[in-house]
Chain A
Amino acid sequence: MAPLWRNTSVGQQRAEFAAFYESARDDCLRAVMASVGNRQVAEDAVAEAFARAWASWSTVARHPSPRAWVVRTALNTHISWWRRRRREVPEPAAPDTGRDDSGDHLPDPRVMAALRSLPTRQREVFVLRVFLDLDSDTTARTLGIAAGTVTTHLARATRALRAHLTPVTEQEQKL
């Protein structure tokens, strides 16, 4: 009977992971894409992070926020990618514009530019709070910083983004 029990358990795990993947895949990609600024790089990193999540699903499933785990791992994968290439400071990959090969519409380049203008930590805080809807404590634990620092980073990021995006909106209204 042991093999049957094991198969059932694996089947349950796969079903759980499938549900998680279905509900989290787009949000995680959007969060990572907003952080790294490039669709292809983000997609590679997020797919790798989900694969790692499945490889360690019994552990990741118990994480306070598996989606945050995936995003954090994807961002770390991205960092590993540029470290392997001996680049100490991550330069944003070439920005995307318009439409990509998958046929998806890409975000407004002005929004992408505004996000890229944020310091890395502010951008990471922003994407976790806005795209994953994490609270301050979970964001803090995910990034390894204090909860108060999360609040400060989010406030600064919000202020900077508003400054970048508001003038454009106002110009559009005048036209």
Chain B
Amino acid sequence: MIDNDDDLYARVRTEFDQVHLQNSLDDITGRGRGLRRRRHLATALGVVVLAAGVTAGLTVTRPAEPEHGLTQVAAWTVDSRQEDTVVFAIRQLADADELSAALKKAGVPALVEFIKVPVEQKVAGCENGQDGMPELYDVMPHSNTPAKPDENTYAVRRDLMPAGSVLHFIIFEMTNRIDGTVQRSVHMSLQDGDPQPCRLYPVDFTFPE
């Protein structure tokens, strides 16, 4: 009998005692150097493209300064009165494009999508899902703060968003075929550049066994 929680945790931990990471430090730091080189190369390319644009006489526009204020409609609210954090609250799944625009104005480039999943859909998700950036967990340290029963609140650290990144925020709404209850799930990711709008899987798609 596993009498208490500590015994249970010890039992699980003990099972992994013989598991060791084999990679040498040189292997890890070598891979890290490769990552740095790719990052610097991308930055250098950006500078070259920018310089070429200036030389060609193009007007380079700076991103607009984020506005501090409160935008409130029936379906949602965007509160950007704090210095670094933008808080948005969703009450109804409506006016997604306007919400994207309000977030952008508040300094959070975002693509917001509200997707009603057909009842007969077997898998709710984007067929064209993209890799996300790990910085999401710094940008949105708390994924959802329930404030009121009919409202979900999300906080975004706009100051921590990497340059050029865009938040992709999707709410899927599904109706349970059996009991008719409505369920929602939220997908959040941080994309390097513009996210691709979600394309649902085909209705009868299922994952291969």
Q: List the interface of chain A (C-beta within 8 A of B).
A: 14, 17-18, 21-22, 25-26, 28-30, 33-34, 39, 43, 46-48, 50-55, 57, 72-73, 76-77, 79-80, 83-84, 86-89, 91, 102, 104-108, 111, 115, 130-131, 140-146, 158, 161-162, 165-166, 169-170
Nearest-Cβ distance from residue B87 to partner chain A, whole angstroms: 15
- Given A107-B19, A169-B1, is A162 in contact with B27 using a C-beta cutoff of 8 Å? no
Give the contacts of B22-78 with A (CB-CB under 8 A).
22-23, 25, 27-29, 31-36, 39
Interface size of B by CB at 8 A reads 48
Please give, as numbers and ranges, the residues of chain B lying within 8 Å of A108 by CB-CB distance: 15
Please give, as numbers and ranges, the residues of chain A lying within 8 Å of B27 by CB-CB distance: 47
A80 CA to B145 CA in the complex, in Å? 25
Contact B32 A51 (CB under 8 A): yes
29 interchain pairs (CB within 8 A)?
A: A18-B25, A21-B28, A29-B21, A48-B31, A51-B31, A52-B32, A52-B35, A55-B36, A55-B39, A73-B134, A76-B137, A77-B134, A83-B129, A86-B127, A88-B207, A105-B18, A111-B11, A111-B12, A130-B12, A140-B142, A144-B140, A145-B143, A145-B144, A146-B145, A158-B8, A161-B8, A165-B11, A166-B1, A169-B2
A43 CA to B20 CA in the complex, in Å? 9
Contact B15 A55 (CB under 8 A): no
B176 at the interface (CB under 8 A from A): no
Q: List the interface of chain B (C-beta within 8 A of A).
A: 1-2, 5, 8-9, 11-13, 15-16, 18-23, 25, 27-29, 31-36, 39, 123-132, 134, 136-137, 140-145, 201, 207
Question: Per DSSP, are chain B's interface residues mostly helix, strand or loop, or mixed?
Answer: loop
Nearest-Cβ distance from residue A55 to partner chain B, whole angstroms: 4
Please give, as numbers and ranges, the residues of chain A lying within 8 Å of B130 by CB-CB distance: 83
Q: Which of A22, A39, A107, A142 has the most CB of B within 10 A?
A: A107
Contact of A28 among B21, B22, B134, B201 (CB under 8 A): B21
Please give, as numbers and ranges, the residues of chain B lying within 8 Å of A76 by CB-CB distance: 132, 134, 136-137
